Amino acid sequence: MKKIAHLFKALSDETRLRILSLLGEGELCVCDLMEILVLPQSTVSRHLAYLRNADLVEDRRQGVWMYYRLAGEESPLHRELLALLQVRLAEIPQAGADQAALRSYLAKKDRASCA
């Protein structure tokens, strides 16, 4: 029961929902999320750690940069919640604006480097 409560607490923050929506597009570097969300690295990293601890995202290190992606669905509850979130978040204007900003940003970004 505690694990489920932790999962729902992770979903109870607007910034974390925005991050999950963006990660629905694929793996992103912390610097990508900072740019789109217009938040400092420490804030983005803190929210990503919370999502990682709730088993909602996975990370990998490449040099000095951390990359995040949606976690492999470890349980039917995770799978169903993430699928529902991707559909419903797409209907929210802020998430749509984030998606548009992400597409624009990635089109201009040199994919070989962050910063």
The b-or-e profile of 51-73 (16+ CB within 10 A means b, else e) is: bbebbbbeeeeeeeebbbebbee
- Structural domains in the chain plus CATH codes: 2-104 (1.10.10.10)
Q: Residue ranges of the alpha helices (H) in the chain?
A: 2-10, 14-23, 30-37, 41-53, 76-89, 93-108
Tens place of pLDDT for every residue, the chain, 115 residues?
A: 888 898 899 999 999 999 999 999 999 999 999 999 999 999 999 999 999 999 899 999 998 889 999 987 677 888 888 889 889 998 999 999 999 999 999 888 875 566 5
Model's pTM, two decimal places?
Answer: 0.90
- Tell me which long-range contacts 78-84 makes (C-beta under 8 A, separation of at least 24): 78/7, 81/7, 81/11, 82/20, 82/56
CB-count burial class (<10 Å; 0-12, 13-18, 19+) for 93: exposed
